[in-house]
A and B are shown apart, each in its own frame.
Chain A
Amino acid sequence: MKAVRATPLPRSLGHNSGMEAPILSVQHLRKRYGDATVVDNVSFDIAPGECLGVIGPNGAGKTTTIRMCLGHTVPDGGSITAFGRPMPQDALAIKAQLGVVSQMDTLDPDFSCAENLLVYGRYFGMKDAAIRARIPQLLEFAALTHKADAKPGELSGGMKRRLSLARALVNDPRLLLLDEPTTGLDPQARHLMWERLQLLLQQGKSILLTTHFMDEAERLCSRLLVLDHGKKIAEGKPRDLIAQHLEPDVVEVFGVGAMALVDSPLRSLAARLEVSGETVFFYTHDASALMLGLAAHPQLRTLHRPANLEDLFLKLTGRQIREDA
């Protein structure tokens, strides 16, 4: 078997201007399961060096889209091209240049961290000597050098995710597909994961990332794709999307009597108002008058902050709990 790809880890291509041909191009993708259309005419591109975030509620079609990009699910329509090759026809050649971290860890529980990397590298047709030469770098990257001989069962959740990431890098991939890479991690572990992903972007890797964390999307992604019910409902840079869909300021008001504000004169000071549970959200272009007005209600608790991705997400996909969530 031929070694598909085995070049050393450190490479500095720098950020890409995005003028080159897309590294991954998805056009009019469609997938149906029975009567339910889970992915409905979704199109997007990823430029070299870009990090595209896919956000959306549970059941929006994020994982199905990733599965189709991996050739694990055959689309009912549309096309996927990666590195200029068609998916799923050239699935193996494409996967030789991909790194994947799936939602659930699939680490081998019987192997140490180092063995997990060795065995995984072999699936890419890499020679043992070439993999062994990379293992120290990969472990160091994952901050797991001291755990080289530990088995996954002895690792914390964050360590396992980082080992999964290191394993996805064994073949020095050009594109990483990360399906909720930080779900279930504590803040420290999440920040370490972000730091590592930013390092990879600096090295010129491209990333497709799904996430439920809006701070993660805002921090890492140069562009976002918002999916809901299988459809693309928005696409753009995080800041642009917020500016495009939302007023810049948000004032959250909660506490006894907050609901009464909905019908009070203060309402006219906000461009838009939303109620969720016991909290009233005022969206406004200038919060100063509203804040003055609220000062007359000292029993209420207020939080004045800039509009963020979470607001955007909730505006686009609604605040109601999904049945399958």
Chain B
Amino acid sequence: MMKESVWRAPRLSLRFWPVFLRNLLVWRKLAIPSLVGNIAEPLMWLVAFGYGMGALVGQITVAGPLGPVQVPYILFLASGSICMSAMQAASFEALYSAFSRMHVQKTWDGIMNAPVGLDDIVLAEMLWAAFKALFTVTAILGVMLALGISHSPKLLVAWPVLLGVGITFSCIALIFNALATGYDFFTYYFTLFLTPMMFLSGVFFPLEQLPLAVRVVADWLPLSNAVQLVRPLFMDQWPADVARHALVLVGYTVVAFWVALALTRKRFRM
């Protein structure tokens, strides 16, 4: 019998839904403590840096569609850090939590004894991590609105964009989930990949501060494209080069999901 290639096309179906529901049901039991964990840290960063550094930095100049605009540092930081929060929430869920279900608890093995394929389980985990990111982002947006950092009506558009950011980063994280031998492995992903990306994506300071060679790389990072889509929306403006940024994110998403699926199939020898 010919073994099919692990790179074959994804076989996705609605059978992913009960798996997604399973994760939702577990999370509902732990939602309140998880909410505190998910939003407390990003908010501490925002308040400490935004107000503390903001007092030193004052206004910051950002390129807008109608020329450079002066914005308060806290607005600059808030619009970048919310993308970072979406990235971290999705990554954390698709690494530590998905790995627990896949490897430690063997939840996936149990599910695969029922008529649910591995592809649908990976899809469910991907969407679940994106949902967690959306949940975190929504909570932080609520606090930002309450603090009056931005009242832009275009935040309604930022919301689905941030869901997309969650999807992109959960797909990327699932690649590393498929390769992991233990939790320690994820430390590399966070310290060698996500942390440098935070500093190269215009979250804390404008990309114009970076040397040109670094900026060329930065322009292709998923987080910097996300920030460039979301930041103008916080300032009640439409982002420039929407198609380019969206395509970069979609490209990362499709490629990462395919790779994650292939490596997960390889891991399960399917």
Contact = CB atoms under 8 A, between A and B. Distances in A.
Interface of A: 1, 4, 70, 72-78, 91-93, 95-96, 98, 100, 102, 104, 106-111, 115, 119-120, 122-125, 168, 171
A110 B26 contact: yes
Nearest to B27: A110
A124 B268 CA distance: 21
B117 interface: yes
Given A115-B25, A123-B19, A76 B1 contact: yes
A74 B270 contact: yes
Given A106-B106, A119-B18, A73 B115 contact: no
A123 B3 contact: no
A295 B114 CA distance: 59
Contact of B22 (A1, A108, A168): A108
Contacts of A76: 1
Nearest to B106: A106
A119 B25 contact: yes
Given A73-B269, A93-B115, A119-B22, A102 B3 contact: no
A1 B14 contact: yes
Mostly helix, strand, loop or mixed at chain A's interface? loop
5 closest Cβ pairs, A-B complex: A106-B110, A123-B114, A122-B18, A100-B113, A92-B115
B106 to A, nearest CB: 4
Contacts of A122: 18, 21-22
Given A77-B1, A122-B21, 6 more contacts: A92-B116, A96-B115, A104-B109, A106-B109, A109-B105, A123-B111
B135 interface: no
Contacts of B107: 106, 108
Contacts of B154: none
B105 A72 contact: no
B36 interface: no
A76 B1 CA distance: 5
Contacts of A72: 112, 268-270
A95 to B, nearest CB: 4
B270 to A, nearest CB: 7
A102 B109 contact: yes
A4 B105 CA distance: 26
B1 A75 contact: yes
Contacts of A119: 18, 21-22, 25
- Which one of A98, A108, A168 has the highest number of Cβ atoms from chain B below 10 Å of its Cβ? A108
7 contacts: A1-B14, A1-B15, A95-B115, A108-B107, A108-B110, A122-B18, A125-B15
- Which one of B3, B4, B105, B112 has the highest number of Cβ atoms from chain A below 10 Å of its Cβ? B112
B8 interface: no
Given A123-B111, A124-B115, A125-B15, A74 B1 contact: yes
A171 B21 CA distance: 18
A89 to B, nearest CB: 10
A246 to B, nearest CB: 37
B115 to A, nearest CB: 4
A123 B18 contact: yes
B269 A108 contact: no
Nearest to A75: B1
Mostly helix, strand, loop or mixed at chain B's interface? helix
A311 to B, nearest CB: 35
A268 B15 CA distance: 67
B17 interface: yes
B115 A104 contact: no
Contact of B105 (A92, A95, A106): A106
A123 B116 contact: yes
Contacts of B25: 111, 115, 119
A74 B110 contact: no
A45 to B, nearest CB: 19
B118 to A, nearest CB: 9
B26 A123 contact: no
B14 to A, nearest CB: 5
Given A108-B26, A110-B26, A74 B3 contact: yes
A181 B107 CA distance: 18
A168 B21 CA distance: 19
- Which one of B15, B19, B29 has the highest number of Cβ atoms from chain A below 10 Å of its Cβ? B15
Interface in B64-115: 105-107, 109-115
Given A75-B1, A108-B22, A95 B113 contact: yes
A305 B181 CA distance: 50
Contacts of B111: 123
Interface string B29-55: 110000000000000000000000000
- Which one of B1, B30, B115, B116 has the highest number of Cβ atoms from chain A below 10 Å of its Cβ? B115
Nearest to A73: B269
Contact of A98 (B17, B29, B110, B113): B113
- Which one of B1, B105, B110 has the highest number of Cβ atoms from chain A below 10 Å of its Cβ? B110
A125 B269 contact: no
A125 B110 contact: no
Contacts of B3: 74
A62 B18 CA distance: 31
A87 to B, nearest CB: 10
Nearest to B109: A106
B157 to A, nearest CB: 32
